[in-house]
Amino acid sequence: MKSTLCASLVNDPFGDPGMLVQFLFQKRALLFDLGDISPLSNAELLKVSHVFVSHTHIDHFIGFDRLLRTFFGREKTLTFYGPKNFIKNVEGKLAGFTWNLVDRYEESLTIEVVEVREEKLIKASFRAMDKFKLTNKKEFELQGGVILEDPSVKVRAVILEHRVPCLGFCLEEKLHVNINKDRLEEMRVAEGAWLNELKKAVLQEEPDTYSIDVPFKLDGKAGMKSISLGQLKEDLVDVSPGQKIGYVVDTVYNEPNKQRIIELIKSADIFFCESPFLADEESRGQERFHLTSHQAGSLAREACVKKLCVFHFSRKHIPHRERFYKEAEAAFQGALRTSTPPSTTN
Ligand SMILES: [Zn+2]
Ligand SMILES: [Zn+2]
């Protein structure tokens, strides 16, 4: 698989949870959760375009100030996604500072906030030049759980139970569509804007009968001919799938959560999953609304993901680091599950 995304944890698994996804050939990154982000340099942070906050418990949101400090005074837009009440949480953070000097800055930061609800998105803006007053609050329909879609990626979210709503995320890289330039010459067709149309048609999965007008040169004469998408795909296009990355933290193991997580991360290339507790701490996990290593492994197995990365380990287990990996891997590779999830939360 050819991928231009590189995902890694921000901290050691015993530190605050967070994942940075860097785009290899663009100055761009996505950040999942916003706890302690001190390991990231300002240069790395300045590449971040979108931040996905699972929920606003302090270990997932304390990094907001550092990110704001890094971006403040720059002509940039940062978009944050979070669960119910997230707009209020961000508004509260911004209200904690005094902004009387913002008019002295020539460049102005814009913060877009998107609150993810069951069937809708609520969006609001905060602009530095307006002293970060809440403006432009609007509601949008949420379709298929897709909270972000652009030419490079698609991000879906589900709402999970953690005694508060907590978002699980799945990032999908779009297909890679490459044009074989050597073949253009052989076919005596010219480069041009039609190649963008061709890429777009492939990405949008138009039928093979869809036709595209292609400029050609033959015996010194230039002209246009219509060629079917099916033919062009066969002759000119190399398509490779993108990467799929799942990210789930802070959730209780029960039937509704389990179904939502499996549906979200189905066949992911890599699944980043919390595992604060060890396999024999299931009742503790239920009480605290968190997963065990074994439950993380079972979810990964049932969702048929290719690789599992467990993290967000409880600090009281610092001497047992290897047990988390071994227990999660054993469940992932097929050890029998010791319990079935309860069907409702308490
Ligand atoms: Zn939490
Ligand atoms: Zn947490």
**How do residues 43-61 score in pLDDT, each as one tens digit?**
999 999 999 999 999 999 9
For residue 11, the ligand closest to its alpha carbon is 2
The reported pLDDT for the residue numbered 335 is 55
54 CA from centroid of ligand 1 (Å): 9
| Ligand 1 centroid – CA 133 distance (Å) | 28
Question: Contact 34/60 with Cβ under 8 angstroms?
Answer: yes
pLDDT on residue 32: 98
CA gap 313, 61 in Å, rounded? 17
**196: CA distance to ligand 1 center in Å?**
44
Instruction: Give 258 Cα–ligand 1 centroid separation in angstroms.
Output: 17
313 CA to middle of ligand 1, Å? Answer: 13
pLDDT single digits (tens) 269-311: 999 999 999 999 999 999 999 999 999 999 999 999 999 999 9
Task: Taking each helix axis as running N to C, give the angle between helix 86-95 and helix 64-71, from 0 to 180 degrees, rounded to the nearest 10.
Answer: 60
Ranges of beta strands (E only) in the chain are 5-9, 19-23, 29-32, 48-52, 77-82, 110-116, 120-127, 134-141, 146-149, 153-161, 165-173, 176-179, 211-218, 221-228, 237-240, 244-248, 270-274, 308-311
Ligand nearest to the CA of 312: 2
| Eight-class DSSP state of 341 | P
Kind of pairing between the strands at 211-218 and 221-228: antiparallel
pTM comes to 0.86
How much distance in Å is there from the Cα of 338 to the middle of ligand 1? 25
Say which ligand is closest to the CA of 56. 1
Please tell me whether residue 152 adopts helix, strand or coil conformation: coil
* CA 255 to ligand 2 centroid distance, Å: 21
Note whether 273 and 293 are within 8 A (CB). Answer: no
pLDDT at 100: 87
pLDDT of residue 346: 39
| Ligand 1: centre distance to CA 14 (Å) | 14
- Spatial distance between the Cα atoms of 274 and 310, rounded to a whole number of angstroms: 6
CA of 89 to the centre of ligand 2 (A): 17
- CA 307–ligand 1 middle distance (angstroms): 24
Distance in angstroms (rounded) separating the CA atoms of residues 332 and 162: 23
Q: What is the pLDDT of residue 298?
A: 97
Residue 7: the pLDDT is: 97
Confidence (pLDDT) at 147: 98
Starting from the CA of residue 57, give the closest ligand.
Answer: 1
State residue 272's pLDDT score. 98
Instruction: Give me ligand 1 centre to Cα 321, in Å.
Output: 21
Task: Mark the ranges of the chain whose per-residue pLDDT is less than 70.
Answer: 1-2, 335-346
Q: What is the pLDDT of residue 343?
A: 52
Q: What pLDDT shows up at residue 340?
A: 54
Distance set, CA 84 to CA 3, 159, 169, 245, 258 (Å): 33, 9, 15, 23, 21
The contacts of residue 37 (CB under 8 Å, 6+ apart) are: 10, 18, 31, 45, 63, 66, 67
Instruction: Calculate how far, in angstroms, residue 58's C-alpha sits from the geometric centre of ligand 1.
Output: 8
Ligand 1 centroid distance, CA of 249 (Å): 8
Which residues share a beta bridge with 277? 292
Model pLDDT, residue 345: 41
